[in-house]
Amino acid sequence: MIRKVLTLLAVMTMCLSLTACNKAVIREKEHVIGVSLANMSEQWRLVLKEELEEEAAKYDDITLIISDAAGNTEKQIEDVNRLMEYGIDLLIISPIDTKALSPVVSSVYSEIPVIVMDRVVEGYDYSLFIGPDNELIGEQEAKKVLELMSERNVKGTVLELRSENLASDERSDAFRSVMNEKKLTTMNLLIPEATRDCAEDNLADFSSYAANNIRAIFAHNDYMAYGARLALEKLGKEDVIVVGLDGYPGPGGGLEMIKSGIIDATVSCPTGGIEAIRYAVAILNGESGVPKKVLLRSTVIDSLNIDEAKEPITIEGGKIRVGYAQIREDSAWRKANTDSIIKAAKEFNIDLEVKYSETSLEEQIEQVREFIKDDVDVILLSPFVEDGWDQVLAEAKAANIPVILSDRSVSSKEDMYTSFVGGDFEEEGRKCGEWMLSDMGEGKARIMELLGSKGSTPASLRSKGFNESFRDNPNCEVVYSAYADFNADLGKIVLSEYIKENGLDVDYIFAHNDDMAIGAVAAIEAAGYRPGVDVKIMSVDGTKEALKMVKKGKISCVSECNPLLGPVLMKAVTDLCEGEELPLTIVTDETVFTRDTDKSLFKGRKY
Ligand code: GYE
């Protein structure tokens, strides 16, 4: 009894001291993590808080101090400053206003690691971003509504119940783009408070249904979906399809609503609380393999799959066995990529078998089949092209062998693979476009684009990010584009032939990778022109040879695409085999190099 009283007194003292003191936290434990939450009124933030606390409780050297900004940006800034006064070792923040909080996060990041959650701040001054893939969520919702309407053979208008926040906008854009593609009519209603009662009150008007033939409702959270169902029941419109979002377990959550038939389906939107603590511990322990950005997996849930349990991987004794289908490619990037993965497998004590393909889809598919037959624990795949993977991924899934995509992705549905680990290709292209816009001023820009391998994710997404960056600028025009397959010789041939035909009549060249850019430089110089003066070149990767050309001014801007994926991949494989659920997308840290880049960043490059 005395022991219990003493323990109680000790805990109370610590709590009081945390509340009362405004200087260094009394360090009962080794690491103190500060958490700044935007509010604790929204349900998913309460779930986030619970997950953070439950996961932190598993570590006996972690103390959490959680602050609630109650939806007030000024208060959130004060909260962060106070947490810093406590002497926290790492900050986890879910910002209210990303613009207002960006400088605060940047300042904290100059002193301690920062994990940003849910809404990313401007720039890259943070250790790690964890959030939902809002575009994917919007697409999943739309595809589920379409599937249900088709199953029930109903046609008509789809009503969207929205709430006022950034995530809602991104999800809604993706939702409506799928609906527009399928030529369905949509309407949307902004619900002032994203609650059941507010949704029910706002849907009480029968006339809008009759007038617009509404046959399905997508609500941006399960509570509004519940309110919609109550309103529909009062109106005798039980046949209208209702799909929600979030899919929380427990009483009153979306999963219970599905089981009781209140809503037809939902899409899970994990908060990332568990991942935040796990990555925070890895950061504080100086572990390798911590990425720059992770997007969490969201899953479509209905009455048919609600009880499907994910089978954890069982490792039959000994080492984890990994089969890796890698692209054979004579490039500095690919060599660094392969070396990094082989080296990390050794460091993580993983048994790795690598099969190389001369960039043929059929050959890679056969290699994956061989790994399935060998019953490896995990398959790593660097798919040369995006399309054509559905069948063999289904075979891997049937064999309960997870597939992690490395450095390139596939067009198969997101439930056909476990995770993608690699660069943010669209961002890489956008960074090059932004540099060009900053360089060109008010003048006109005639642009040439050297495209990577046709049908590969880096080529399609780099092009998308680059072209979208100047979409609204009438002075920019892509006057010529050609495939050069990420290859230096082809880059040189394309430029030589173009110059022979037209002279060098472009102002900027965007090459999807360094090899093609280096080939272009050789052709430009062979034709007697000066790269960096007569034409400015932007590329992606950040290889040593390209960075040398940046320093000489021959290439003007290189957006990094880090090939050193080994540690991140092997940490993901290890986490997976320890029963953790992996994020859907794991992005490595990447920077941009120009002549103005701090010289220190050019030093010690590993590829
Ligand atoms: O940018 C290029 C290589 O898949 C991201 O492939 C990788 C790309 C890389 O050919 O150099």
Q: Is residue 300 part of a domain?
A: no
Let me know if residue 607 belongs to a domain: no
Instruction: Report the alpha-carbon distance of residue 427 to residue 544 in Å, rounded.
Output: 21
Pocket test for ligand 1, best of 327, 328, 329, 334 (most atoms within 8 A of CB): 334
Q: Convert the pLDDT of each residue in 90-117 to its tens digit.
A: 999 999 888 899 999 999 999 999 999 9
- 491 within ligand 1 shell (Cβ under 6 A): no
**Residue 76 beta carbon below 6 angstroms from any ligand 1 atom:** no
pLDDT at 93 (0 to 100): 97
Same domain, 331 and 258: no
CB-based contact 450:512 (threshold 8 Å) = yes
Q: Is residue 310 part of a domain?
A: no
Nearest 5°: CA angle at 559, between 554 and 562? 120
The alpha carbon of 389 and the centre of ligand 1 are apart by a number of angstroms equal to 19
Above 70 in pLDDT, residue 212? yes
Domain annotation covers residue 505: yes
Q: Does one domain contain both 447 and 556? A: yes
75 shares a domain with 40: yes
Average pLDDT rounded to a whole number, residues 72-89:
96
**Same domain as 413, residue 385:** yes
Given this model, what pLDDT does residue 297 score?
93
| Residue 488 pLDDT greater than 90, yes or no | yes
Q: For residue range 303-341, what is the model confidence (pLDDT) as tens digits?
A: 999 987 666 666 766 799 999 999 998 888 999 999 999
Ligand 1 centre distance from Cα of residue 333 (Å): 7
- State how far the alpha carbon of 57 is from the alpha carbons of 29, 45, 61, 67, 338, in Å: 12, 18, 9, 17, 38
Is the minimum distance from the CB of 540 to ligand 1 under 6 angstroms? yes
On whether both 23 and 44 belong to a single domain, the answer is yes
From the alpha carbon of 541, which atom of ligand 1 is closest?
1
Q: Mean pLDDT over all residues of the chain?
A: 91
- Any domain includes 595: no
Q: Is 329 in the pocket of ligand 1 (CB under 6 A)?
A: yes
Domain carrying residue 207: 134-268
pLDDT tens profile 335-391: 999 999 999 999 999 999 999 998 789 999 999 999 999 999 999 999 999 999 999
Q: Give the pLDDT of residue 460.
A: 96
pLDDT at 601: 86
Q: Which of 561, 568, 607 to mutate to test the pocket of ligand 1 (most atoms within 8 A of CB)?
A: 561
- 378-381 β-sheet, strand order: 62-68, 31-37, 90-93, 114-117, 128-132, 293-296, 585-587, 419-422, 403-406, 378-381, 321-327, 351-357
In a domain, 410, yes or no: yes
Provide the domain count of the chain.
4
Range name among 132-136, 166-170, 413-417, 527-531 with the lowest pLDDT average: 166-170
CB-CB contact of 271 with 54 (8 Å) = no
CATH of the domain at 197: 3.40.50.2300
Examine the domain organization and report whether 437 and 545 are in the same domain.
yes
Cβ partners under 8 Å of residue 285, min gap 6? none
In this predicted structure, what is the pLDDT of residue 40? Answer: 86
Residues 475 and 549 in one domain: yes
Query: Which tokens hold the place of 394?
Result: 């289904």
Question: Considering the domain boundaries, does residue 306 fall inside one?
Answer: no
User: Residue 25: what pLDDT?
Assistant: 54
Residue 513: CB within 6 Å of ligand 1?
yes
Residue 458 Cβ inside 6 Å of ligand 1? The answer reads: yes
List, in sequence order, every residue forming a beta bridge with 352; answer none if it has no partner: 322
Residue 339: which region, alpha, beta or left (left: phi > 0; alpha: psi -120 to 50)? alpha
| Residue 524 and residue 495 in contact, taking contact as beta carbons nearer than 8 Å | yes
Q: Verify that 435 and 553 share a domain, yes or no.
A: yes
pTM of the model: 0.86
